[in-house]
Chains A and B, each alone.
Chain A
Amino acid sequence: MTSLRNRLLLYLRRHERVKIGVLLAPTTFWVVAFTLLPILIVLYYSFLTSGLWGMVVHELTLDNYREIIDPLFFKLFLRSFLLAAVTVVLCLAAGYPLAYWIAFYGGRYKPFLVFLVILPFWSSYLVRLYAWMTILSDHGIINSGLQLIGLISEPIPLLHNEFAVVVGLTYTYLPMMTLPLYASLERLDRRLLDAAADLGAAPATQFARVTLPLTRGGIISGSVLVFVPAIGEFLVPDLLGGAKVMMIGKFITMKFVGLRDWPLGSAFSLLLMVLVLLVLVPYLRAGGSPKAFEEQL
């Protein structure tokens, strides 16, 4: 007598396609339920009409799409793009040495140091941003410190400008850059550096010709992981940018929350998604091609 379990296993073994289907089911469910479906809902909303008091009227229209061809939106997009790009560059500048140091000199403290990198995630994002507001304020530690040693007589405006936003974004997304960089540096075969030295490469040349190209995958994935959330970020510009700095994410939040115009907000969200994808396609191509993948191995 074969048990039900055995019969089932036998069936799966004989039917390769069913087996693949069963194995892929959880992932498929996840992607459909939590990625595809929400996007479809947003897409549907973007064709609806907004009613009074933030109500949504289930009446299909193209009005929202007429409205988003808005020069302000594209200006904001460009602004946000630049701020996100600066953030990526700063995260790279800070994250690469950090990841390099942990991977090469961390020794047995490596797991602990990596833990330190992700430690900020354990506390509330909001609290951390408020902390930055305190640090950057006119009476914050930086301004009072500089005043104390007599470098400045008046507080310099550190908060509620683009500088504050870039600081906040860089601080928030640094771990997203550091971790993939650490992974690729950790995987880098040290013997290749020995080989490069043996073939006449001084340390700087070793880095430029071996380390850097072989960690390209980490640089690309880190950059994407920082850029995508940074461009759509709304809390940082809201808290640290104040009224003066507008970013695309904050703009969309205002449509949803402030104006309670969900259909228009949905249309803007989709436009942002499309624009970000267009920007990232060449970048992802460079990092996601099979060749680049092989190089990482």
Chain B
Amino acid sequence: MSATVEFRHVTKRFGDILALQDISLCLENGEFFSVIGPSGCGKTTLLKLIGGLLTPDAGEILIDGKVVNDIPSYRRSSNIVFQNYALFPHLNVFENVAFGLRLQMTGATASELRHKADKALGVVRLEDFGDRMPGQLSGGQQQRVAVARALVLRPKVIMLDEPLAALDRKLRKEMQAELRRIHQEVGITFVYVTHDHEVAMSMSDRLAVMDHGIIEQVGDPDTIYHRPQTRFVAEFMGASNIFEGEIAEQTDGARALRTASGLTIDVDIDPSSGKTMCLSLRPELIDVYTPDLGIPHQNQYQGEIVSRIFLGNAVEYVVRLETDDIILSRVPSRQLRQSAYKPGDRVTAGWNRDCCNELKH
């Protein structure tokens, strides 16, 4: 595997605003890579830098091993599927797809063009739509034309900027599967920019979480989800419980985290940074039960249910512990008794010590 796109200490400013700060990143050939983060985190800037619509203020960007800083957008082997699709409204679907081809293959015969464009339309399953105008297509169809328009040029990398944002839920699910299929079919590196961590997790080989122009963490979805390195990543990947405190050696040699509120949590971790430490704990790893169920956990705390939200396949509890710590727990609905508690019920919240994840900062 070799790198398709590489960022070396790339910085980008807009006036006084630091949009990207010393970004170094490597995208492997043919991978499906997502960049996620809240709006304004710099993810679209990252994408525009690859596409050449922006130039970096510092650092180098490489595509296929060559520095492309000074290569204008129209000479780069990268294509963007724009957020609003940006289809040319005065050209029909075929001409939209052929737009780049005509410029790339000067001297190509009409039948060559038609063959290539039709093939790309075939990949996105719009073979019979060549004569339609973009205005006559649904959102999902327009989206697929935009994908075909990028695919047909066989770029080294295709970037998708929040491509599903404008679609309704059902269509979004369909297009998600469709994009995965297309990616596997063509084997081009995909860079997918979104603020939706669930979509990103379900589609990507790897993902990068960004905030304030900095990449917080890069990794495969499992790692990012279960082993977030920073508080921001832990919170961005769905609500998480975070504990901050000092590490104390127990008499039996085990370690525990003691928070300011007086909570003592047994942990399994060798703290990497001195005595203070930050832990994250995913809600689904916390069990909520009453003593009569006799569930053994290394960490158990008494508390009271503050609120209950029914999610269908799970129930989300907010529990106030006796130390006044607030804990978020998610219990699967198939645990019939445990998912039936009501606000005000006295319960025990418990988890094993290997559930905790250490945050670097």
Which residues of chain B from 153 to 186 have any CB-CB distance to chain A below 8 Å in the complex? 153
SS class, residues of chain A in contact with chain B: helix
Is there an interface contact between A197 and B73, defined as CB atoms closer than 8 Å?
Answer: yes
Is there an interface contact between A192 and B88, defined as CB atoms closer than 8 Å?
Answer: yes
With a cutoff of 8 Å between Cβ atoms, the chain A residues found around residue B52 in the complex are 197-198
Is there an interface contact between B153 and A194, defined as CB atoms closer than 8 Å?
Answer: no
B82 located at the interface, meaning its Cβ lies under 8 Å from any Cβ of chain A in the complex: yes
Once A194-B53, A198-B53, A205-B103 are accepted as A-B contacts, the answer to whether A295 and B74 lie under 8 Å apart by CB is no
Which residues of chain B from 62 to 79 have any CB-CB distance to chain A below 8 Å in the complex? 72-75, 78-79
With a cutoff of 8 Å between Cβ atoms, the chain A residues found around residue B74 in the complex are 197-202, 205
A154 located at the interface, meaning its Cβ lies under 8 Å from any Cβ of chain B in the complex: no
With a cutoff of 8 Å between Cβ atoms, the chain A residues found around residue B87 in the complex are 195
Is there an interface contact between A200 and B153, defined as CB atoms closer than 8 Å?
Answer: yes
Report A143 CB to chain B, min CB distance, Å. Answer: 47
Is there an interface contact between B88 and A195, defined as CB atoms closer than 8 Å?
Answer: yes
Is there an interface contact between B104 and A191, defined as CB atoms closer than 8 Å?
Answer: no
The residue on A at minimum CB distance from B84 is A191
With a cutoff of 8 Å between Cβ atoms, the chain B residues found around residue A202 in the complex are 72, 74
From A195, A213, A295, name the one whose CB has the most chain B CB atoms within 10 angstroms. Answer: A195
Instruction: Convert A269-297 into 0s and 1s, putting 1 for each residue whose CB lies closer than 8 angstroms to a CB of B.
Output: 00000000000000000000000001101
Q: Which of A195, A200, A201, A213 contacts B82 (CB 8 A)?
A: A195
A13 located at the interface, meaning its Cβ lies under 8 Å from any Cβ of chain B in the complex: no
Bound together, the chains give a CA A192 to CA B89 distance in angstroms of 9
B30 located at the interface, meaning its Cβ lies under 8 Å from any Cβ of chain A in the complex: no
B228 located at the interface, meaning its Cβ lies under 8 Å from any Cβ of chain A in the complex: no
B51 located at the interface, meaning its Cβ lies under 8 Å from any Cβ of chain A in the complex: yes
Q: Which of A197, A210, A294, A297 contacts B88 (CB 8 A)?
A: A210
The residue on B at minimum CB distance from A199 is B100
The residue on B at minimum CB distance from A203 is B74
Instruction: Convert B82-101 into 0s and 1s, putting 1 for each residue whose CB lies closer than 8 angstroms to a CB of A.
Output: 10101111100000000110
Is there an interface contact between A199 and B82, defined as CB atoms closer than 8 Å?
Answer: no
Is there an interface contact between B72 and A197, defined as CB atoms closer than 8 Å?
Answer: yes
B80 located at the interface, meaning its Cβ lies under 8 Å from any Cβ of chain A in the complex: yes
Is there an interface contact between A196 and B99, defined as CB atoms closer than 8 Å?
Answer: yes
Report A208 CB to chain B, min CB distance, Å. Answer: 11
Once A191-B84, A194-B82, A195-B82 are accepted as A-B contacts, the answer to whether A201 and B103 lie under 8 Å apart by CB is yes
10 CB < 8 A contacts A-B: A192-B88, A194-B80, A194-B86, A195-B80, A195-B87, A198-B73, A200-B153, A214-B89, A214-B90, A297-B135
Interface residues of A (CB under 8 A from B): 189, 191-192, 194-202, 205, 209-210, 213-214, 294-295, 297
